[in-house]
Amino acid sequence: MNRRTIVLTGCTRGLGRSLLAEFAAGGDRVVGCGRSTSAIASLRTEYPGEHRFDSVDVSDADQVAHWAKSVLEQFGPPAWLINNAAVINRTQPLWQIDPAEFSRLMNINVTGSFLVARGFLPAMVEQKRGVIVNFSSGWGRSVDPDVAPYCASKWAIEGMTLALAKELPEGMAAVSLNPGVIDTDMLRSCMEEYAKTCHKPADWARVAAKTILSFSAKDNGMQHAISLGSTQRGE
């Protein structure tokens, strides 16, 4: 079977974990990464065979470069490159945020997406094929109080993706994706009661996986949002 390769960051929990299950069930090869070594070990047991899972800190340039080089040598350029890995700040006004927390969030959410793109895109550009999907947020196109660092990171993702879209050769696409409001640990950390009323990641992934795999060169520069009928207010 000639499987398509999908590179997916943040695959050990939340939306990434649910997407992984959908992609694998559809017959595609998933090359995923996450920071938790124990969660990665569990994925290797659950999904043996042609899939690949590695413990990678996407904010670490050396780790990402080594991982990307190894993956490209094993599988070649991916058909889809999905930057999903992200964290959110503790809910409080901007002036109360610890500088170390702000830096960590930006390093994972923004720098991490850049480093992963930098690792894989040269090989994809050489073939003039492939789609890069950078996960944004409702908070990358609007704002709420007490999540200013997260908003800043996702607005940065929007800008970076739009600029990248103008740099890619014909035949490729860069898309920013607002996943909508889903009941994840991340959303519960800032809106627990509201999060409980939202769609579950597995339900979301059944729609999202098909949407992501439908993206092609014609969608280059698109700012897409997935809606399952719930209110679009962040995450």
Catalytic residues, by residue number, are 150
Structure-block tokens of residue 44: 């290797």
Residues 6+ apart with CB under 8 A from 127: 77
- Type of residue numbered 213: L
Tokens describing residue 57: 């800190």
* Euclidean distance between CA atoms 124 and 94, whole angstroms: 38
Structure tokens at 89: 């700040």
Q: Rounded to 5 degrees, what angle do the CA atoms 120, 166, 208 make?
A: 60
